Amino acid sequence: TDQVAIVTGASRGIGRAVALLLALQGAKVVAVSRSEAELAELTCKTKGLSIVADVSDELDAQHVIAETLRNFGRLDMLICNAGVGSFNQLEDFASAEWDRIFDTNVKGTFLMCKAAVPHFKERKKGHIVGITSDVAKRTFPHGTVYGASKFAQDALLASLRKEVRPHGIKVTTIYPGLVDTHFNDTTPGSPEAEKTHLRPSDIAQAVRYVLEAPAHVVVDELMLHPFTQEW
């Protein structure tokens, strides 16, 4: 297809795998992150567009949508994937770390959707896919800040689903368990992680699946875990 997709957090991990798969499927992919060199390398493969932007900055978010429309004339899919996390006992979290996590995971999703929805409404068509986490539906020690951000991101997307459905716009939330990425400063590719974690390509396949649903079907929620993960 010649569909146009924005993928945030595309420089590595899940977002990169989603961008590569959608490009392989024939989509025009707009890859977004703060890392110019990684995006340039990715764009060589996707033959799409890359935009250096911070999703937590309103002007950046607006710029991403405007540049997409200027280049391709339309937007079909917005994949809100950019996210950060860290884990600690509550009293050891710096206040600035709360801001970093909420600004990226919650405000970033809000600002990207806010910028995209008017265009989707105009076309009476569009699909927003949010990559949240299984921790949007469970709690655990050291997960106070990250978990709160993912519950908030999940609530935002669930409310938005009801708000935009009358306008022909689909909202899908994907809840991954452990995925082998650079998340929280980890290094992917260890033999151990192969047994305990999903691969970014597993999430990319899930994104492809929900995007390919026929017009009369919407996948509201999709949760995936490594078979070994108890949660």
Joined tokens for residue 102: 């909420």
By CB under 6 A, name the one of 131, 164, 206, 211 that touches ligand NJP: 131
Find the binding residues for ligand NJP in span 88-107 (CB under 6 A): 104
Report residue 39 as tokens: 């995006």
Of 14 and 117, nearer to ligand NJP (C-beta) is 14
One of 102, 120, 146, 151 is an active-site residue; which one?
Answer: 146
**146 catalytically annotated:** yes
Site string for ligand NJP, 44-63 (x = CB under 6 A): ----------xxx-------
Q: Which is nearer to ligand NJP, 87 or 183 (CB)?
A: 183
Residues 208/33/47/200 CA torsion (nearest 10 deg):
-40
- For ligand NJP, which is the closer residue by CB, 48 or 176? 176
Among 50, 81, 172, 173, binds ligand NJP (CB under 6 A): 81
Asked whether position 224 contacts ligand NJP by CB under 6 A, the answer is no
Least separation in angstroms between CB 144 and ligand NJP: 15
- First-residue to last-residue Cα distance in the chain: 37
Report CA 71 to chain centroid distance, whole Å.
22
Q: Interaction with ligand NJP in 166-205: which residues (CB under 6 A)?
A: 176-179, 181-183
Q: Which positions lie near ligand NJP, rule CB under 6 A? A: 8-15, 33-35, 54-56, 81-85, 104, 108, 131, 133-135, 176-179, 181-183
Catalytic residue set: 146
